[in-house]
Amino acid sequence: MDKHILITGGAGYIGSHVVKLFGEYGKKMVILDNLSTGVKKNILYGDLVVGDVGCEDDLNVVFSKYDIGAVIHFAGSISVPESVENPLKYYHNNTANTLTLVKKCVELNVNNFIFSSTAATYGLGEGRPLDEDDLQKPINPYGQSKLMIEKILRDVSNAHSEFKHIALRYFNVAGADIEGKIGQSTPDATHLIKIASQVALGKRLELSIFGDDYNTPDGTCIRDYIHVMDLAQAHVDALDYLIKEKKSNYMNCGYSKGFSVKEVVSEVKNTLQLDFPVKIAPRRDGDPDLLVSKCEKIKKLTGWKPRYNDLSLMIKTAYEWEKKIS
């Protein structure tokens, strides 16, 4: 595709890694980001337009200046606990702003759309690995806001036959660029491995485990962790599939293996050969016991082949990045 790819939220954690990978493949990109949480220096390729995805004037600037052939949409709010405390923020930043973007795409006949969705749409899950056809019943406003977007995209694709989309449902993203050029740069991020790295470096006093009475073997939540560079490759492969096959779809992104919070903390200490204080804190609202993926679909349809399925590697790259920005 010779046209530009519009990447919203491309200065953020996942978006910046996707920008890096597309840049290495020689793709033309424009990044739209308001830099409220994103970091400008983490954008290694493409043109940056500072603006808001929910502002039609900002969208008009981008779409008038660049010939856009596809959109990869990351921009939005991502904290489950915050969404419980401030749901209106999530329905505005995620659902309403995406509606504005999708409307503009339909208006201008931009028909390839990749959406950054989440395993949180599955809610409590089924106590087993989940595939794309499992029930989606979110238990927090973050997951609900993302599911609403999936429904919007499905309805728009049904109403406008040329408009096609793929929703990538991320499980727990971790790690940093293998080459150490970029990483998770938001100081108050809620990602477990980043927080553990900060505690190990003395940037935080202690690590809190939120609840140890879940219905899991050790009482702490179990999650499926995926290296951010494998997730970035999933976006490259998904866009190739979308352009070639012209079919909308929904795909999980994970490794189909779960680790409990206590297991991750233990692995961080083992990998780094460091000890740090850990305390048990009350549960957070909106956290299910277990979220683990089945990912056969994305592998079969797009040819996605993970290269970094190694919890220790996720920890090492996250820690090295955290040390670099200290």
Cα–Cα dist 181/199, whole Å: 22
Provide the 10 A C-beta neighbour count for residue 284.
Answer: 16
Q: Which has the closest alpha carbon to 168: 64, 282, 72, 272? A: 72
Per the annotation, the verdict on 142 as an active-site residue is yes
What is the SS3 assignment for the chain?
CCCEEEEECCCCHHHHHHHHHHHHCCCCEEEEECCCCCCHHHCCCCEEEECCCCCHHHHHHHHHHCCEEEEEECCCCCCHHHHHHCHHHHHHHHHHHHHHHHHHHHHHCCCEEEEEEEHHHHCCCCCCCECCCCCCCCCCHHHHHHHHHHHHHHHHHHHCCCCEEEEEEECEEECCCCCCCCCCCCCCCCCHHHHHHHHHCCCCCCEEEECCCCCCCCCCCEEEEEEHHHHHHHHHHHHHHHHHHCCCEEEEECCCCEEEHHHHHHHHHHHHCCCCCEEEECCCCCCCCEECECCHHHHHHHCCCCCCCCHHHHHHHHHHHHHHCC
**From 122, 142, 250, 308, the catalytic residue:** 142
**Residues 30/46, Cβ–Cβ less than 8 Å:** yes
Q: Which residues are catalytic?
A: 142
